[in-house]
Structure 1
Amino acid sequence: MKWSDVLDIAIELYETHPDVDPTTVRFTDLHNWVVDLPDFDDDHHRGGEKVLEAIQQAWIDEAR
C-alpha cells in the first residue's frame, strides 16, 4: 500500500484497531500505525497532514 491508497489503509486500520474511535487518534499515532501496517510500502516521510486527514476521515466512514 502507498499513501494514496487512503481507503485501503482506512480498512486495514479499522480491522487492526477495532476498538479505537478514529476521531480521537492523534496524527502522530495515525502516522505510526499506517507505516506499521504489514502491507504498507511507501516513503514514511510522505505522510503529511492532508493525507492523514483523508485517511482519518475514511476510517471514520468505515467505522460507521
Structure 2
Amino acid sequence: MTWHDSRDIGEQLFEKFGKLNPLTVRFTDLHKHVLALDGFEGKPEASNEKLLEAIQMAWYEEWEDEYGE
C-alpha cells in the first residue's frame, strides 16, 4: 500500500481503531497511524494534506457505516 490507497488504508485503520471517530484524529497522528500499518510501503515525506484527507474520509465512511447515527 502507498498513500494513494486511501480505501484500503481507511479499512485497515477502522479495523485497528474500532470506535475511534476518525474526524477527531489530527493529521499528524493520522500520518503516524498510516506509517505503522502492516503492508504500508509509502515514504513518510510522500504524503500531503489532500492524501491524508482522502484517507480520513475513507476511514470515516467505514466508521459511519458501523457507528454513525
User: 2-side partners of 1:5 and 1:56: how far apart?
Assistant: 12
User: 2-side partners of 1:43 and 1:23: how far apart?
Assistant: 24
The answer for unaligned runs of 5 or more in structure 2 is 65-69
User: 1-side partners of 2:19 and 2:29: how far apart?
Assistant: 15
Runs of 4+ in 1 over 4 A off after TM superposition: none
Is 1:5 the counterpart of 2:28 in the alignment?
no
TM-score (norm 2): 0.89
Is 1:33 the counterpart of 2:33 in the alignment?
yes
Q: How many residues are aligned here? A: 64
Cα deviation for residue 19 of structure 1 reads 2.5
Identity over aligned residues, as a percent?
Answer: 45
Larger Rg computed on CA atoms: 2
